[in-house]
Chains A and B, each alone.
Chain A
Amino acid sequence: MVGLRLVNISKKAGKREILKNTSLEILDKELFVIAGPPGAGKTTLLKIIAGLIAPDEGEVYIGDQMVNSVPPGDRDVGMVFEVPPIYPNRTGFENIAFPLEIRKMNAESIKERVEEVAGLLQITHLLDRKPTTYSGGELQRVALARVLVRKPRLLLLDEPLKNLDAKIRERTRVELKRLQREFGITMVFSTHDQLEATAVGDRIAVINEGIVEQTGAPEKLYNSPKTVFAARFIGSPTMNFAECTLKQVGKRSVLDASYFNIDVTTRAHAIEREAMTSELLLGLRPEDITLLNSPANSKCFEGKVELVQNFGDERVVTIRVGKISLNSLTGKDRIFTCGQKVYVKFNEENAHVFYRKTGIAVM
């Protein structure tokens, strides 16, 4: 059992609070992602797990053991940093073998272990070469191999893909997930990139200014964000937001955003009473906004095309409805031009609503 528990962790740097009463539970053999913008506290959190930084308050458990007073070397935790410290004068083999040599393992076992790990990471061809000849992706994999060769119970990766080219990043993220499965290790991975987070993570914690906004599986975060921050952070193109209020129109419950409205009658039972009198924020994912050429017979709102972004297989069309700009995600088969008049139809079932003041979801 190599689960991990962080209980009420706080950490200050001078006057700045980096982590505020943060709690997390990471399961055995899970690939857990800590996702958030730069400065959210991701690296500090990883360093506290590794024992490189002591929290001001709170407890860290690895398995069932409280490790607050256990030094980093005895925690059986491997950590790979954003910029991996690799010895430039040693070959790939020597770099990877180093942690085993310190442990005075015999030469034969070292060779066996290094070759096994190198094979898994597909870097056998780098074993005789020195780091100056490596590409960014290769350097990252050698650093990873050096940590994996120790067979740690728990592996921490701090933005491991940040400095790689887009194409290599795509490939490496798949490799990391495969490795985590094959080695059966618990892995904690930090990133500022939401796509990377949802692609690799079994579960994700979205953190913002030292606070965990929401924890859950990728689909959960995408479909049921609990806060405005999580809703805005996960998903690209970003969710659309519009200020609104909840109104009762006869028997219908309607979210009124001035220039358009969303009928939420079917979900009215889930709406808290408090929402009736609160300022609200409506959230709509771009794929829940459909554009029509004519008003047809359905409920829709007139708008004007402001910008068209071509994503290859999809288009992101920005439409102006009254004073509100909305992004719609559409297929590649329809052509839109700037200034064109369109009719906007909403998938009302999938609308999200938050309290404007607290940023917390209404239902």
Chain B
Amino acid sequence: MPKLVVKNIRKVFGTFEAVKDVSFQVEEKETLCLLGPSGCGKTTTLRIIAGLEVPTSGEVFVDGVLVNDVPPQKRQIGLVFQDYAIFPHLSVFENIAYGLRVRKMPEAQIERKVHETAALVDVEGILDVPGKKLGLSEMQRVAVGRSITLDPKLLLLDEPLSNIDAKARERMRAELGKLQKEIGIATVYVTHDQLEAMTLADRIAVMRNGLIEQIGTTSEIYDSARTLFVANFIGSPSMNLIDCELVYNEERAILKSEDFTLDITEFAERIRDKSKGKELVLGIRPENVSLDIEKPDPKAIEAEVQLVEPVGAKSIYHLKISGLTVLAKGYPMPEVNVSSKVWTTFNKDKLHLFDKKTEEAIA
């Protein structure tokens, strides 16, 4: 049985429809990420699950039980907030014990439960330390620990890494990933950071304007984006999106944009009907655009390097193909500099095609 079922949730604030019609479920031990830009409805959805917001319509089931009328504290849901909300004057022990004390659990039982939890989130050595003296990573572990003392059926995390600087975030992301695996509780995780979602989630629900655009594993979302929005939102740098049309020239199928043409005959057969007479958008991720100094094959496209961004092991190349800018990402090529002439090749196995009008993928 799924640990969480969200069914046709809708939420209206005055005249603003924050959540239009959202449905999904989370299985046992699964982490589902609600991902989207600010204003997409992800936080409202989370607050509805937690019981902090009442949906205008729709149902929420936790572990098979309809909880629409159950108050937040009785939903058996653990919550971790953006700023962790650690009590600064209380020790780590008391921070973790807080929920148990509120429920007036006997002291011996509290003692046992706190130690059990502390072992799980690895804060046994600092139980006496006051909240205000904790480092970021410790705060994160205490916050997660506190949220699981009451053996929740479901864990909700609201942008737990968003206020942390880039370097610390990288470390905390990995730590949170390990922690989740150890705890093994079904989790809903809200974020606007696509990298965080890709690395932490079993499945991602990409949201936009109060609706889920696509739901799937990281690989499904990354490799088979179903809409232009998802294609553009996932991945850094973003997927190259180029307006074009498909024309059939005798036996060949040619993608024509204003700036170049691309023979996609092998690829075109299966989309022949779907693409007929439509304005198309060609999508290709920067890592699937390759660069060569010498012309590698007669169909390679000539380009000029506009900008090189070294980003560690790889570099991002901004290429000008006539009037168009295309990004390529690959291992650094010391001989390639700004203004260099290069030859680009698109990996045809990795092409995406979208209908410009409906914004939906056709291949």
Contact = CB atoms under 8 A, between A and B. Distances in A.
A170 B236 contact: yes
A85 B358 CA distance: 41
B189 to A, nearest CB: 14
Contacts of A222: 310, 312
Given A177-B307, A195-B311, A309 B236 contact: no
A233 B174 CA distance: 16
Contacts of A234: 312
Contacts of B195: 311
Given A193-B165, A195-B166, 7 more contacts: A167-B37, A167-B232, A237-B170, A307-B178, A310-B222, A316-B174, A327-B174
Interface string A277-320: 00000000111000000000000000000110111110010100
A76 to B, nearest CB: 28
Contacts of B38: 165
Of B219, B238, B313, chain A has the most CB atoms within 10 Å of the CB of B313
Nearest to A178: B307
A113 B304 CA distance: 31
Contact of B310 (A199, A232, A311): A199
Given A167-B238, A192-B166, A199-B309, A238 B198 contact: no
Given A307-B178, A313-B287, A167 B312 contact: no
Interface string A135-173: 000000000000000000000000000000111001000
A305 B79 CA distance: 29
A339 to B, nearest CB: 10
Contacts of B192: 165-166
Contacts of B309: 174, 198-200
Nearest 8 interchain pairs by C-beta: A199-B309, A309-B199, A218-B310, A193-B166, A312-B222, A287-B313, A310-B218, A313-B287
Given A38-B165, A165-B37, A174-B318, A307 B310 contact: no
B171 interface: yes
Contacts of A235: 312-313
Interface string A186-223: 00000011110011100000000000000000110010
B144 to A, nearest CB: 16
Q: Could you say which interface size class chain A belongs to? A: 35 or more
A327 B192 CA distance: 25
Contacts of B193: 166
A63 interface: no
B285 interface: yes
B165 A37 contact: yes
A286 B313 CA distance: 9
Contacts of B178: 306-307
A285 B313 contact: yes
B182 to A, nearest CB: 11
B234 interface: yes
Contacts of B219: 310, 332
Given A37-B165, A318-B174, A170 B237 contact: yes
Given A219-B332, A310-B199, A312-B234, A198 B312 contact: yes
B245 to A, nearest CB: 26
Interface of B: 37-38, 165-168, 170-171, 173-174, 177-178, 181, 192-195, 198-200, 218-219, 222, 232-238, 285, 287, 307, 309-313, 316, 318, 329, 332
5 contacts: A37-B167, A167-B238, A309-B173, A312-B218, A312-B234
A238 B170 contact: yes
Contact of A238 (B171, B177, B285): B171
B174 A313 contact: no
A204 B192 CA distance: 29
Contacts of B222: 310, 312-313
A313 B285 contact: yes
Contacts of A170: 236-238
A310 B174 CA distance: 11
B332 A194 contact: no
Contact of B194 (A166, A195, A200): A166
A312 B235 contact: yes
A107 interface: no
A292 to B, nearest CB: 19
B99 to A, nearest CB: 28
Nearest to A171: B238
A165 B181 CA distance: 29
Contacts of A199: 309-311, 316
Nearest to B166: A193
A6 interface: no
A244 interface: no
B332 A312 contact: no
A18 interface: no
B234 A167 contact: no
A332 to B, nearest CB: 8
B236 A236 contact: no
Q: Which of B167, B198, B218 has most A Cβ within 10 Å?
A: B167
Given A165-B192, A178-B307, A311 B198 contact: yes
A149 to B, nearest CB: 24
B238 A194 contact: no
A195 B312 contact: yes
A181 to B, nearest CB: 9
B307 A198 contact: no
A167 B199 contact: no
Contact of B313 (A233, A238, A306, A329): A329
A338 interface: yes
A236 B170 contact: yes
Contacts of A307: 174, 177-178, 181
Nearest to A236: B170
B310 A198 contact: yes
Contacts of A166: 192-194, 236
Interface string A37-60: 110000000000000000000000
Contacts of A306: 178
A22 B238 CA distance: 38
B316 A309 contact: no
Contacts of A194: 166-167
Given A198-B312, A238-B167, A310 B236 contact: no
A309 B173 CA distance: 9
Contacts of A232: 167
